Amino acid sequence: MDAQKKTVDARSAVVFDVDNTLTPPRRPLEPEMAAALQHLSVPFFVCAGSDLRLIAEQFIEPLHRFGYRGSFEAFVCNGTARYHCKLFEKLSTELVERFEMCSHMGEARFQHLMQIIEHALKLPEFQLPSPMRIIGDKIVDRISMINVIPIGRPREPLGNETYANRAFFKEYDERTGFRRRFLKHLRQECSRLSLEEIQIFLGGETSFDVVVQGYDKSYAVRSVLGRGFERLWYLGDALFEGGNDTAILTFIDTWQGTHPCPVKAIQVNNWQDTLKTLHTLKLL
């Protein structure tokens, strides 16, 4: 790498979504991707909808096992909780900062929001037919956001039964538009009940991310830009309407700097597509 490229790359970075961008959906990182991350020519950050426990299981721990050595920052819970991750002989993660949704909204408004979600999940039109089952928690308070999972989220690592349940739900959702209908309902209820600051996105293949406006994935991008990077690529699989990566598109569209927005958002379809994109961008 010549001196000029080193200078350019020193001011550039890439921010990755995790699920279905760096890994297969809710499955561990593949060794080919771990090797690619070790050889990136620019620093990288990850920005995930899931919490640290899930991201550690799905991405950080496999990355360490496959031999990655280095450090990076992980913005989890839809970008609003930042951890410094050190992967050397030992693996360590340290919380740097975290937004607290309940404190920001106030206890009464936060509980009102939870009641809206609980009521929606009980409506007849949102009951799931067999063979789907509820496995785990349907509402998870992640402190900086709320995750809503109509089929439930197990607290233990996913097994064959849970993967089969996810597959049933994904097929049902694609056939009936279940998540789009549920998303529309929740958004309408929040607007009707004066919770305009609440934003709701599709998360992964089975869930919904409920966040406070501005405390979404754009929070991570703002944080990275605040460190002096002059060019960012954001790679994610949910840059479609309603997806939780669309906060990045809103950030770009509403950019008010004196120079063009330094962030470019790129839609990918899976982790293999991410690898192809990195080669196209000449970051590998």
Q: Is 19 marked as a binding-site residue?
A: yes
Q: Is 12 marked as a binding-site residue?
A: no
Q: Name all contacts of 85-93 with Cβ < 8 Å and 24+ positions apart.
A: 85/60, 87/60, 87/63, 91/60, 91/61, 91/64, 93/52, 93/56, 93/60
Distance CA(15)–CA(21), nearest Å, equals 11
Cα–Cα distances (Å) from 58 to 160, 188, 233, in that order, read 16, 33, 22
Cα distance between the two ends of the chain = 11
Judged on CB neighbours under 10 Å (0-12, 13-18, 19+), 264 is middle
Say if CB 100 and CB 81 are below 8 A apart: no
Q: Which residue has the tokens 């937004």?
A: 99
3-state class (DSSP) for residue 124: helix
Give the count of beta carbons closer than 10 Å to the beta carbon of residue 279: 11
Distance CA(73)–CA(71), nearest Å, equals 7
Q: Is 254 marked as a binding-site residue?
A: yes
Q: Is 26 marked as a binding-site residue?
A: yes
Catalytic residue numbers read 17, 19
Q: Is 166 marked as a binding-site residue?
A: yes
Binding-site members for Mg(2+) are 17, 19, 237, 254
Binding-site members for alpha-D-mannose 1-phosphate are 26, 142, 153, 166, 207, 209
Binding-site members are 17, 19, 26, 142, 153, 166, 207, 209, 237, 254
